[in-house]
Structure 1
Amino acid sequence: MTYRCSRVVDQETVDMEIMDIACKETSVASLESSIRWADGFLLLYSVTQRVSFLDVPRFKKLIDQTKQSLVVPTMLVANKADLEIGREVTTEEGQRLAKELRCSFRELSVAEAVLAVEVAVFQLIRLVLDQQRALPDRRSYMLTVRHALTRKLTRSKTMQW
């Protein structure tokens, strides 16, 4: 599912498209297509479901492969931090994974504080905006070069010699 909305962050209006890929039926090609247009990623897992935690490295690897050399702001977010009794993933494991994946880390509970989600999203938006302000020309140039090379390679593969 894709959610569209606008928010004001640090006096700047930001149009967002948030894609929820929680469904297991999503194909790799569909994910890669979504990853290409995204400027930032929030990787969410539940502390009560180890399988969701174990899926995170696979998604991060797909992001890195799809984005190739571009550095993309990514946050690892642990949800359901209020459910200590059913916890299957420790805070330390989340922090360690975030460090391995070169992501920032946040643990929260949507049930207790919906605002915590907004804070995490705004933190990610600020990381994206900071990156775009720092390297707008270089990123555009890199994408232009990548697209030109892709078109040229595609054309050369299809041409008969």
Structure 2
Amino acid sequence: MLDCKPASTPIEANHRIKADMGDPVDKGQYQRLVGRLIYLSHTRPDIAYAVSIVSRYMHDPRSTHLNAAYRILRYLKGCPGKGILFSNSRHLSIECYTDADWAGCLDDRRSTSGYGIFVGGNLVSWRSKKQSVVARSTAEAELRSMVSGICELVWLRLLLTELQLYKGG
């Protein structure tokens, strides 16, 4: 992959990846690659969603899934300097942003939730996860996403208060 052409995004827009698309590939190789991508996503929130998509198929990987994982590698090649950068903003205001894609998984029609939490303008917590139930509407999928983000937000606020770092209202 050293001579590959860099990609501008970690996954194609409006991707349509399903469980039974493509020919079977080496399961061990796929699992090692995706495992490394999962580890890398702890410091690269920009690939979290794409990694969550390819990690769904670790039990029966196909060529389409491997190509999606390779695209993540091509994206990483194009932006090696990206990552988390913390700056001193002299305030500890907490902000949370959430989103969901309604019925985004073509295999079981479940939605994917995601959130990002900023403390003092610095990203400190993020998550992208498939919802446990099928949402009946976009509003329900978005609500479930907001609930998971708010749960993390409340926990983080309590932690900062306990550490006597947050005195906000």
Same fold, TM exceeding 0.5?
no
Larger helix share, 1 or 2: 1
TM-score normalised per structure 2: 0.30
| TM, length-normalised to structure 1 | 0.31
Higher strand share: 1
